[in-house]
Structure 1
Amino acid sequence: MKFTIATAIAALSTFALLSDAHISFRYPCPRRGPYSECPQPKDNEWQLVDYDVQSPIGTYNNIQDPICKHPSSFDGVRPVFQAGQVVQTKMDVDVNHLGGSCQWALSYDNGSTWVVIQDQFQNCMANAPSSSTYTVNLKIPDDAPTGNNVILNWLWNNNEGNRELYSSCADIKIQGTNGGSISGVKPLYANYGAGSPYIPEKAVSGGNWGKQFFDARPSVTITVPAQKVKRQIVEMY
């Protein structure tokens, strides 16, 4: 049977459901995500599609993938968000592990530095039904600088089950102030390799969900240079 691009697109969601999965971004699209509404691979890129996009990137004793898993997305149009906008992000949910603690962070330098823009502790994803698309509101900070190559990262430490870290990265654009800075705290990477903070299962640890580690996150300020504005010269005759 001839395997065409159309056949591959139609099969994306099916392949995603067959993999060992938990939760990831669906909108904005995760890097190399297996969703038909996401940027599609070129003819020679189909082997790069991430059919395990919902899986954790590591456990308390093992780092499986980098924070963003992949160095880039497939070529396509990035969603544009305004500073101060409340974005209805969509999560592709397999199981919710009785919730957990989430962090959302931005990077303007391809993942070298991150600043957390929103937290939800203890009950994040707790109400997400299994095998569903779940909406979570995320506010882009009012003072977020303009950036055409911004990464939005979602991190999740689950309450129940294996001690894991989940991460999902989406490439976006932000329209805000032309140059400026954004301040907050650095993300916490817990249950992510032997040297990382360990957060136990909440139900068997007397309610310990890692508060001491989240409270200790260091402050960070990201400064974004102003972009040069192209001037159009009109000659008068």
Structure 2
Amino acid sequence: MKTLAIVASMLGLASAHMEMSNPPPFRSRYNPHTTNIDYDLVNPLAADGSNYPCKGYHTSFNTPQGASVATWQPGSQQTLSIVGSATHNGGSCQASLSYDGGASWKVIKSWIGNCPLKKDWPFTVPSDTPSGEALFAWSWHNNIGNREMYMNCAHVTIGGNNGGSLSGRPDIFVANVGSKVNNCRTVEGSDVLYPNPGPDVENTSSRTAPPTCGGKMARGLRV
């Protein structure tokens, strides 16, 4: 019985049952525009980085399946919702926006520790967020289990007539997806301490560790 319990525990860590439900991402069961659901959205990005970003689904942007699912005003309060059961003891998460089809991402919120141990994660759309069509991403680096990165993306519309810029915000943190993207890895059993979390950050972790990038600890490094 004890052996079966250990095996069940290991299988629980191997199954990555977490995904963003709001805003509903591309190819999601929660997205009203989806015509061919990808039930593997709960799984991490490929270890070699071949489907970074967005598991490759950012290419659906502005197609019938990739229509906008939310309209947000600069300065408004919004909620990122994450559902599933295999939380991997939490970890650290980020919310990011891209205006160039996923080539670059700017972080608008960082949560260090305990993410995603609850469903709803409130954040503020920065007042300087440019108006227009954008990609929104939830990314997560898990605390325990294999060294992985999870990422779901959605098409959102930023309303108003705001000519702002997010250029002063940090780039999304990327790790555990091989050298094709970068050479960073997070530390097993710790919540990754983002080198550049941005001005809007919540740190509720009791145990953090910086990532290693190229074999060295990353401190204040843009990746």
Could you tell me the TM-score, scaled by structure 2's length? Answer: 0.73
Residue identity opposite 1:202 in structure 2: G
> CA shift at 1:100, angstroms?
0.6
Contact 2:91 2:115 in 1 (8 A): yes
Contact 2:131 2:163 in 1 (8 A): yes
Over 3 Å counting, the alpha-carbon distance change for 1:179 and 1:114 in structure 2 is: same
Aligned residue number for residue 96 of structure 2: 105
Aligned residue number for residue 216 of structure 1: 221
Q: Does 2:171 align with 1:155? A: no
Please list every run of 5 or more consecutive structure 2 residues that lacks an aligned counterpart in the other structure. Answer: 1-14, 191-206, 212-216
Contact 2:210 2:218 in 1 (8 A): yes
Q: Secondary structure at the residue paired with 1:52? A: helix
Q: Tell which structure's C-alpha radius of gyration is larger.
A: 1
Aligned residue number for residue 63 of structure 1: 49
Could you tell me the TM-score, scaled by structure 1's length? Answer: 0.69
Please list every run of 5 or more consecutive structure 1 residues that lacks an aligned counterpart in the other structure. Answer: 1-19, 129-133, 219-237
Contact 2:19 2:42 in 1 (8 A): yes
Query: In the aligned structure 1, how far is the partner of 2:128 from the partner of 2:164?
Result: 8
Residue identity opposite 2:51 in structure 1: D
Query: In the aligned structure 2, how far is the partner of 1:54 from the partner of 1:85?
Result: 28
Q: Does 2:76 align with 1:85? A: yes
Aligned residue number for residue 159 of structure 2: 175
Where does 1:20-169 land on structure 2 (aligned, <5 Å)?
20-35=15-30, 38-41=32-35, 46=36, 49-59=37-47, 62-69=48-55, 70=57, 71-72=59-60, 74-125=65-116, 127-128=117-118, 134-147=119-132, 149-169=133-153
- Give the percent of matched residue pairs that are identical in Structure 1 and Structure 2: 32
Q: How many residues align?
A: 181
CA RMSD in angstroms, aligned pairs only: 2.3
> CA shift at 1:75, angstroms?
4.8
